[in-house]
Structure 1
């Protein structure tokens, strides 16, 4: 199957500059295709993941991915579409972000040499102002640039010359990659259409109208309720395990709406059409089993964090659901209890009633604490405690770092030993 047919089935094609030409190109030979990302932060989030999942599909189909880290473009910032200019970062921060993103992307695309990561700072930083104006500025029509959607949306509130010229710099990237890296296709989100077509126009002016270059964009992804994909109450879902733990990452995918899960399976997994259609049928006939959500969580977590992270996330999930937390490791507790109510305690042993009231504040009064303990409503590290004379020793479990308290059926607290 031609990869474009597969992408169409997955709903992953928004616009193409020349469908027939691109279809023939990718059908006949291995093609260089690139996606760019500016180092505006030191981690990608799952919104960034969308074009890279499509790029990964091209890699698996035998094509050559080229990833551009925008060390040059990222130092000035692209027009965001918002009513404000981006805040310029220091070059030290840009370089730090470049290193972090390179590490993440290498993890996704492998270390076998079947893809390239390049930095546009290498060639953009060599341009003098006069070279920029003479060699490239003369080839861009201001009226055409003003009509690009991302620029036009900013005209009422204003846009700096710096951000206005971003599309020229990105066009230079495409030209450089065409000339030096055998890249013929640029892939990006729907908001990149103007920049992509500007790059194709530049290549045709420099290399001639028959230069075989193409653009492909991906639709803007919205949830079934019309809101933007990838945002949660806690903010963005990051690929960096220190920002969003693998357990949180797994839970994000596990909790997707039935109306969205098949679309996400098509975009974010490498399952076959037959496998996805089978899961779609299960959503219709056995939605309570959430088989599609579970498979989605497994596949995406494994792709980003590895199989061991999936096993760890599932172990944490099962322990929290059953209340059997005694077998969790300290590292798993760090993940699973990250957003649960947390108090700091000392390592000193104490009577359970006093500890629940005076040390942790989990219980509002000693009377309530004694009542809850006596009634079997308190579990410490997974074990029910009914003796009001029992002693809590924070050093007993989890390397002496944590005490897990469950009050009632679902209310968890984490006591962190300092």
Structure 2
């Protein structure tokens, strides 16, 4: 299977700007770029598929450049829903440095900052040397801009397309970069860059654009910084254990798509896992493999082993086997309930885990309630902060899978 066919099979091709690109991908050595703005201090799982696509291209002899938009981050790529909040120079600089380090450590791509070729540009030069090449009618017909015409769009965000086109032109001229890749929502910006290159250098230049479908959740919403429950690639923001659990809980309808887009597993292995899913979905073999591959690729075998240790400890109720750091990871994603010292049966009722004291006593006496991995059968037992599992948090399990983290309020003298 040639590269383009594999990218299609993995669901990584939404559109290309020319059929000539197919042969270039299969047999050429393209220098290409992918960009992101420093609007946060970490990439997230929505970026991961795109960056892995860049890595796949690199493995086939192409040459990636990673652009972190120190300039475009000041402006903000237009969203369909409204204007972005403007970030301060201090925040953007912090985010830029964080992303630079993250990308360098994970992928080692060559990196550039578009602030380098825009910071000294005067407004007159911008309008004469670049703005002159953009027809307003052409710009307002771009999909994202068109969606904002009724609600309104500032000139600042309207100009983002020109700035990104300047990036493509600069890299084409300085680094012989002949392709830009990005999510399908970047089609308008990518084609604007190609138009600028052609107007400056002639219609017959060999430059291309490739867009990838946005990776989405089962409900159709995309993974992004503005979405709730963002899954970050930085372990301090989303721990390897939380990432493992997130991927382990992938819906059957999405897991094969994620295996194709988020792992380097072979076609044959993914097809085997797809068959295993059809034959025995309950075994969750595909989900386990997805979680293992992504956590290992991002954070290494040691962090995967720690995530598996926490997972197994929770599944088997052997919570005492974990060290304090692993305990904190274990409780981080559990529902948090503020509490004070009280009887066990009252704890279940006050937290709405049980509907009544009678139901609470039935669960307790029926061996269905465990605290920090140990079963307790006395409804009148006092549960207090001395029983904390880590810090001031206690873990209560109802049945086999339902975990709750009770946070004891500090004593007030």
- May I ask how many residue pairs the two structures share in their alignment? 406
Specify the alignment match of 2:7 in structure 1: 7
Task: Show the counterpart of 1:103.
Answer: 101
329 and 188 in structure 1: CA distance in 2 versus 1, 3 angstrom threshold: same
- Whether the aligned pair in 2 keeps the contact of 1:329 and 1:398 (CA below 8 Å) is no
Going from structure 1 to structure 2, the CA distance change for 1:123 and 1:382 (only over 3 Å counts) comes to: same
After superposition, the Cα gap between the structure-2 partners of 1:408 and 1:263, relative to the gap in structure 1 and judged at 3 Å, is: closer
Give the superposition deviation at 1:29: 3.8
Unaligned 5+ residue runs, structure 1? none
Tell me, what secondary structure is at the counterpart of 1:187? strand
Structure 2 distance, partners of 1:303, 1:338, is 22
CA distance in 2, matches of 1:65, 1:222: 25
- Name the residue aligned to 2:113: 119
Aligned counterparts of 1:400 and 1:147: Cα–Cα separation in 2: 56
SS at match of 1:326: helix
Mapped partners of 1:149, 1:233: distance in 2: 21
Distance, in Å, in 1 between the alignment partners of 2:400 and 2:275 is 34
**Contact 2:4 2:26 (8 Å CA) reproduced:** no
Question: How many Å separate the matches in 2 of 1:68 and 1:286?
Answer: 43
- 1:238 equivalent to 2:243? Answer no
Shift of the alpha carbon at 1:152?
A: 1.5
Give the one of 201, 209, 230 matched to 2:203.
Answer: 209
* Aligned residue number for residue 86 of structure 1: 84
Taking the aligned partners of 1:236 and 1:370, their CA distance within structure 2 comes to: 38
1:143-182 per-residue CA deviation (whole Å, 9 max, x = no partner) reads 2112211112211222211111111110110011112223
- Contact kept, 8 Å, 1:330 with 1:401, in 2: the verdict is no
Aligned to 1:196: 190
Residue of structure 2 aligned with 1:406, choices 397, 400, 405: 397
Shift of 1:403: 4.1
Superposed counterparts of 1:247-266, under 5 Å: 247-266=241-260
Counterpart among 306, 312, 333 of residue 312 in structure 1: 306
> RMSD of the TM alignment (CA)?
3.2
| Residues in 2 aligned to 1:119 and 1:177: alpha-carbon distance in whole angstroms | 11
Q: What SS is found at the alignment partner of 2:307?
A: helix
The residue correspondences of 1:151-230 to structure 2 (distance < 5 A) are 151-223=145-217, 227-230=220-223
Are positions 1:332 and 2:326 aligned together?
yes
**Which stretch shifts more, 307-316 or 126-135?**
307-316
Alpha-carbon offset, residue 25 of structure 1: 2.5
How many angstroms apart in 1 are the aligned matches of 2:55 and 2:331?
33
State the shift of 1:410 in Å. 4.3
Gaps of 5+ in 2: none
Change (3 A) 1:233 1:122: closer
CA offset at residue 209 of structure 1? 2.6
* In structure 1, distance between residues paired with 2:285 and 2:156: 49
Is the 8 Å Cα contact of residues 2 and 23 (structure 1) preserved in structure 2? no
Q: CA deviation at 1:103?
A: 2.3
Taking structure 2 as the reference length, what is the TM-score of the superposition? 0.87
Do the aligned partners of 2:344 and 2:380 also contact (CA within 8 Å) in 1? no
